[in-house]
Amino acid sequence: MMEATKERIEELLRGVIHPESGANIVDGGFVDNITADGSRITVSLRFKKTRDPFAAKLKNQTQSLLEEHYPELKGSITVFVKEAAPARPVEEVRRTTTGDISHIVAVASGKGGVGKSTVAANLALTLRNMGYSVGLLDADIYGPSQPKMFGCEGAVPEAERIDGYDYIVPIEVKGIKLMSIGFFIRPTDALLWRGAMATNALKQLIHQTLWGKLDFLLIDLPPGTGDVHLSIISELKVNGAVIVSTPQQVAVADVVRGVEMFRHENVNIPVLGIIENMSWFTPAELPDHRYYIFGHGGAAAYARQCDAPFLGEIPIVQSIMEGGESGVPAVESDGAVNDFYRHVAEKIVDKLQ
């Protein structure tokens, strides 16, 4: 076993990568101090952000790596995180365009295909119908679908230069300010994006879009949980998260992980509640019947179990599916559908008061 010198430890820690910056923790400046005297190793890490969401993960990685390499010192290896340096540089804060947004709400799901994007689009329009000014950021890097849902595929946002800085003008569609990663990439390219690349592109969209004054910005997150999610939500002051699930998906590990991600001490974003999508099916010829194809009451029960509000149910309705295809979301055309989303939107507004 090689002796634990400061230089060797440093070399070892070059194998630990900060997912957001893509740099190893030594060259990225995250290692504050290393002491090694032959019988004890102490490493302190310091992060640039006050609550870096990767702090706990990197601390654990560093600890495991050192214990693996120096098993004889196990028990005498300490890795700790020093209090972060104060705030972000003034310049960076000045340049974000999110300063005039009252409420930022993340729309998340454990898995793809549960209707997260459909819910985000219809909720955005419902909030607009309630008289609020609304923006929608489609950050679903793996399947940006909002341009299609709003019938503006192929739109090219304009750039605007103000005081020497470049900004992006959102596409205004149906009274919503829409920005999507899909305006800039082909879906096939998105699949090839690595974490850091996706994160950087999304950060640009977040901070350089001319959102103006908004009551609500909804963020259509990618499905699941991961480094891209943590990066996006740590970039912004997200006021709350809503989690969309189908009845049969609700208690599965992916949804549970989603709730835990938002509630993690380094993330600390209130879970405003769970929305159950595809709750039941009513055939047109039997308007009083509800067929609970995917089971009944699952999301409400899970919400109770994890102590999160239950925000409501959206049934399977043909017009909702068709709205996603035609570029006119169903709340625009179907009064009955509108009522379901309205109920959910009112609860969200209520939770944010």
Which parts of this chain interact with ligand ADP (CB under 6 A)?
A: 109, 112-118, 145, 223, 277-278, 314, 316-317, 320-321, 324
CB of 174 to ligand ADP, least distance (A): 17
Query: Smaller CB distance to ligand ADP: residue 277 or 338?
Result: 277
Minimum CB–partner distance for residue 97 and ligand ADP (Å): 25
Q: Pairing mode, if any, of strands 271-281 and 134-138?
A: unpaired
CB closer to ligand ADP, 135 vs 329: 329
Question: Least distance (Å) from ligand ADP to the CB of residue 10?
Answer: 43
CB of 142 to ligand ADP, least distance (A): 9
Q: Are strands 240-245 and 271-281 parallel, antiparallel or unpaired?
A: parallel
Nearer to ligand ADP, 55 or 278 (CB): 278
CA–CA separation, 219 and 123 (whole Å)? 11
37 φ, ψ (degrees, to nearest 5): -120, 25
The enclosing H or E element of 173 equals strand 171-173
Of 77 and 255, which CB lies nearer to ligand ADP in the complex structure? 255
Residue 308 or 344: the one with the smaller Cβ distance to ligand ADP is 344
Instruction: Tell me the closest approach of the beta carbon of residue 45 to ligand ADP, in angstroms.
Output: 36
| Dihedral sign for Cα atoms in the order 5, 6, 11, 17 | positive
φ, ψ for residue 150, nearest 5 deg: -100, 10
Length of the chain (residues): 353
3-class DSSP state of 16: coil
**What DSSP string describes 308-333?**
--EEEEEEE-HHHHHHHHHTS-GGGT
DSSP element (H, E) containing 215: strand 214-220
For the bound state, the minimum distance from the C-beta of residue 326 to ligand ADP, rounded and expressed in Å, comes to: 10
Residue with Cβ nearer ligand ADP (118 or 234): 118
Q: In the 8-state DSSP scheme, what is residue 22? A: -
Residue 175 has a CB neighbour count (10 Å cut-off) of 11
Question: For residue 266, what are the CA distances in angstroms to 56, 116, 163, 229?
Answer: 8, 25, 35, 13
Distance in Å, CB of 111 to ligand ADP, minimum = 7
C-beta closer to ligand ADP: residue 98 or 319: 319
Torsion angles phi and psi, residue 349, rounded to 5: -60, -45
